Amino acid sequence: MAASGTAVAGVAAVGLFVVACNAGGTGARDAGPARTDPVARATPSVGEAAPPAAKRVDPVALLRRDPKVSETVKRDLKPCVRDEYPVDTSYGKLTGGPANDVVVNVMTCGDAVGVGTYVYRENGDAYQNVFAAEAPAVYAEIDRGDLVLTKPVYAADDPMAYPSGEEVITYRWTGSRFTVRDQVHNDFSRAVGGDGDVDGSQPATTVPSGD
């Protein structure tokens, strides 16, 4: 009888465990001990390839080998601190090629004023310069597949830190070259610190052009 009672108790315990596991989100499934299994890793779906990592380049070497970069820029291209050069580099799609294009902005060490901006397109084992602009405070960025170039506009008596305005030019790759897609001119207020004529102080104006 004792053995029979033990067997019945065991069956009842198993029955309770099964009920607990199937009780609509309650019981052992929610209150059990923390799992120690490794966390599952997300993997791409069948036929979905992970995007390749951006290929990095040596921007300083590109500039020094490039005949389209002026000798003035090359001469002044020196490290600011140890081996850190005043160069910003961006990678992204601009020209529709299979690889990322490279945008390189060269600046001065002291005040980080742009002196040149260049776009390089991968061509086999080399990179081809497909855009160059060398001017005071020029700077370019990649914006949703377009190249956006910003350059200040100086009047004859403007200090470097306070231009009279700026041009924001959007370029788009068409066929085998960049063409102007849009251009915005901003005039900056001449009033500084509220000392100017309030009635004559005008807010910056934006004049779009192009398409």
Mean pLDDT for 7-31 is: 41
The per-residue DSSP string of 154-203 comes to --TT--TTS-SEEEEEEEEEETTEEEEEEEEEEEPPS--TT-S-TTT---
pLDDT value at residue 160 = 78
pLDDT value at residue 108 = 94
192 pLDDT band, cuts 50/70/90, is low
68 or 203, higher pLDDT? 68
Mean pLDDT for 50-79 is: 89
Choice among 22-31, 35-44, 81-90, 144-153 with the minimum mean pLDDT: 22-31
pLDDT value at residue 161 = 78
13 pLDDT band, cuts 50/70/90, is very low
Kindly tell me if the per-residue pLDDT of 40 is higher than 80.
Answer: no
179 pLDDT band, cuts 50/70/90, is very high
24 or 133, higher pLDDT? 133
102 bridge partner residues: 91, 120
| Other beta carbons within 10 Å of 146 | 16
pLDDT value at residue 128 = 95
Give the type of residue at 116: G
Give percent above pLDDT 90 in the chain. 53
Kindly tell me if the per-residue pLDDT of 203 is higher than 50.
Answer: no
- Backbone dihedral region of 107: left (phi > 0), alpha (psi from -120 to 50 degrees) or beta? beta
pLDDT value at residue 54 = 64
Give percent above pLDDT 70 in the chain. 65
pLDDT value at residue 35 = 45
Tell me the whole-structure pTM to 2 decimals. Answer: 0.66
Name the average pLDDT for the chain.
Answer: 77
- Residues 81-123: tens digit of each pLDDT: 989 999 999 999 999 999 999 999 999 998 899 999 999 999 9
Distance of alpha carbon 77 from alpha carbon 3, whole angstroms: 92
| Other beta carbons within 10 Å of 132 | 16
47 pLDDT band, cuts 50/70/90, is low
